[in-house]
Structure 1
Amino acid sequence: MAALKYAGLDDTDSEDELPPGWEERSTKDGWVYYANHEEMKTQWEHPKTGKRRRVAGDLPYGWEQETDDKGQIFYVDHINKRTTYFDPRLAFTVEEVEKPNNKQRYDGNTSALEILQGRDLSGKVIVVTGANSGIGYETAKSFALHGAHVILACRNSTRATEAVSSITAEWHKAKVEAMTLDLASLHSVKEFTEAFKAKNLPLQILVCNAAVFAQPWKLTEDGLESTFQVCHLGHFYLVQGLQDVLRRSAPARVVVVSSESHRFTDLVDSTGKVDLALLSPPKKYYWSMLAYNRAKLCNILFSLELNRRLSPHGITCNTLHPGNMMYTSLHRSWWLMTLLFNFARPFTKSMQQGAATTVYCAVADELEGLGGMYFNNCFRCLPSQEAQSETTAASLWQLSERLIQERVGRQSL
């Protein structure tokens, strides 16, 4: 494609032709990045010139630029009621963008343990759902090996206990425990939140990691399609149940693991409202891949609306894509997917690399107080247009509340 021209850039740079398969994009806050559709990756540097570029852009939602009595520019965050002399648009870039040979701090090859190198998470309490295997396990282990008190919230208590033993075998001082949580059961979610509250612990980080993929059509005990409930509604109810603990623990973060698959679907009907028939369809209209895509779109919309509602209370939420076609347990319900993932395995991220962006969103200092964003390979990028819709996010929230009220009662929200 022809490169786009942006204000403030010289014509020579803006007209550099991109290699085949590359596309130039820009973030809302003015930074240009490049997407390689063949290799399914993104980067800040122009693939030919190696230059990083910036364009003029609006401040993030809720921010305003002002000048103090000394003539210095400062920024007001009206949502979180704070001021800073640091331009929030610069939070996700390298320190010296004029030096094209500088590489970004992290990328798709970075591991979760590299993100945490030198960090002491002692005193932090972290809950990770779906943490007995795959990316969730590596996420939980990485936190635990750096001093955090980590709770593995898992459906299978036997596997969760084995995961705890594996982590403590690696470091005997690791403070890690397992608790039962079945996101396919709203009753189980409620039991988990009540059991967690009984521990009288704070909760600084909640990682909504658990998911199912390529599942045959199945209704949960709550009468909803299982992919939708496990990936979205169960986590929605979990956050509602832990919201008061998160508030008391502020500053706190919620991290939601989504996927680039969210780009290949939508959720709304002809009236612009989120359609439950799309999210929880009857068996004859069900396609497992589409169900997964829709659930992953729900993740980003949920994160957007959650951040809007809770950021004034010191709770921020971001979402992320961990990586493409990684060999986790998600695909094992369908032999064809297992074959495909086995073939792709040598070319994809390791589980440690897949956990890196989750860990980055959970602990990065530069993200303190900032949320409502989507990350890939440890840096911010734009999700689909539908995923940026505040109207759709609000509609999904209202539908999610209604579904829970109908099943467990208004007092549970």
Structure 2
Amino acid sequence: MSTWSWISYYAQAIAQAGIPIIPFSKSPHWSPEELGDQRGKVILITGGNSGTGYQTARQYYAHGAKVYIGCRSPERAAEAIENIKKGGDIDLYGEWSFTPVDAAKAGSVEFLQLDLADLESVGRAAKEFNAKEQRLDVLFANAGVMASPVGMSTVQGYALQFGTNVLGHQRFIAELLPLLSATSRANPSNPARLISLASLGQMFAPKGGIDYDALRAGGKQLDKWAEYGLSKWGNVALAKYVDTHYGPASGVDGPIIAISVHPGVVATNLARHVADTSSKVYNAALPLFNVRASKGTLNQLWAGGADVETARKLSGHYVACYQTQSPYRPDIDNAGAVDKLWDYCTAQWSK
């Protein structure tokens, strides 16, 4: 990889970061109304109880889909479902407003108990979903943690950001691949999709993307931002792997469209480990650097709902702000590194 490849990547990544204060930032050219009628579709969203996951669930519900929100807490899920049904939206400062949903067009929304930081919970959730549904049109691998304190770990002892953002999602995706492929076989004109929520943070990943010595608690410790970058590199890699081995160009029966997405710099509870969200300074700076979750969800909604021809072309690629195919880290093109990550993750839960 040339020095110019890296310089070009960083320049474009910053330009397409979705930070309001950057004067040449692009504006959205797509709205959720363009989702159209989603009746008959089944949508599954990890972390669907808050942030961009909640907004994704809200829009698909309003357009008629059967929506599952993956969440650890039944109480938080119940509150989210109530707000989704009431058409609740939340602003930069956590204030709610409600716009009634057209009952004639609305779908349904259900809770799926899922803790991505516990591989056993992930396995149970996938098994439950596979038993309930005969199709899965779009899987949004949306949930995640950011910049959690160094040393925090998952139930099975993996570094928290890697274990939640990558390892938990990889098992969930792997367990649902047969259902996604079956959906594509039954609907060849509109294949199933995997939308993996990545981030501009991928630029902070270590050289090569993954430092395997730093994935287990008690081993090598990375700075919290390097660990976050590693996990976001991993989220791009998961979509890249699925596209390579199951995508439209793979030649498999029942191809799956797989796209990774950067949502922009969004005001959600993802920032809880980063800043004092109650401080006056933080609140004053919010509109300069952050967008509300309803805007931050536009990229993943577009990737999930774009016309099939556009979606096929985007498979294996990375979308940044807004609705723009953008460069991912140049080392993502190392197929061996991507396969190695997938195989490593599979080995951890296969044990």
The one-character-per-residue Cα deviations of 1:279-309 (angstroms, maximum 9, x if unpaired) are 3353772422211111000011111111111
Residue 108 of structure 2 corresponds to residue 175 of structure 1: yes
Residues 9-408 of structure 1 aligned to structure 2 (within 5 Å): 35=12, 37=14, 40=17, 107-109=26-28, 114-117=31-34, 119-170=36-87, 171=101, 172=103, 173-216=106-149, 217-250=151-184, 251-266=191-206, 268=208, 274-280=210-216, 282=218, 285-311=221-247, 312=252, 313-324=254-265, 326-336=266-276, 342-347=283-288, 348-365=290-307, 366-370=309-313, 371-376=315-320, 377-406=322-351
- Bigger helix fraction: 2
The amino acid of 1:192's aligned partner reads A
8 Å Cα contact 1:259-1:320 kept in structure 2? yes
Structure 1 residue 150: Cα displacement: 0.7
The one-character-per-residue Cα deviations of 1:227-246 (angstroms, maximum 9, x if unpaired) are 11110011100011111111
8 Å Cα contact 2:45-2:142 kept in structure 1? yes
1:338–1:403 CA distance, 2 compared to 1 (3 A): farther
Corresponding residue of 1:91:
none
SS of the aligned residue for 2:301 comes to: helix
SS of the aligned residue for 1:285 comes to: coil
1:223–1:379 CA distance, 2 compared to 1 (3 A): same
TM-score by length of 2: 0.80
Q: Measure, in 1, the Cα distance between the counterparts of 2:15 and 2:342.
A: 35
Q: Measure, in 1, the Cα distance between the counterparts of 2:296 and 2:336.
A: 31
1:253–1:37 CA distance, 2 compared to 1 (3 A): closer
Q: Which moved more, 1:184-193 or 1:380-389?
A: 380-389
Aligned residues: 309
Q: Measure, in 2, the Cα distance between the counterparts of 1:286 and 1:195.
A: 35
The amino acid of 2:175's aligned partner reads G
1:107–1:203 CA distance, 2 compared to 1 (3 A): farther
Q: CA RMSD in A?
A: 2.8
Q: Measure, in 2, the Cα distance between the counterparts of 1:382 and 1:36.
A: 7
The amino acid of 1:232's aligned partner reads V
TM-score by length of 1: 0.69
Q: Which has the larger radius of gyration?
A: 1
Q: Which has the higher contact order (CA 8 A, sep 6+)?
A: 2
SS of the aligned residue for 2:148 comes to: coil
The one-character-per-residue Cα deviations of 1:333-380 (angstroms, maximum 9, x if unpaired) are 354577575343112222111000001111111334341000011110
Corresponding residue of 1:7:
none
8 Å Cα contact 1:228-1:295 kept in structure 2? yes
8 Å Cα contact 1:323-1:349 kept in structure 2? yes
1:288–1:25 CA distance, 2 compared to 1 (3 A): closer
Q: Measure, in 2, the Cα distance between the counterparts of 1:336 and 1:387.
A: 34
Unaligned 5+ runs, structure 1 = 5-22, 27-33, 48-105, 407-413
The amino acid of 2:153's aligned partner reads L
1:234–1:338 CA distance, 2 compared to 1 (3 A): farther
Unaligned 5+ runs, structure 2 = 88-100, 185-190
Structure 1 residue 388: Cα displacement: 2.5
Q: Measure, in 2, the Cα distance between the counterparts of 1:237 and 1:374.
A: 21
Q: Percent identity?
A: 26
The amino acid of 1:290's aligned partner reads A
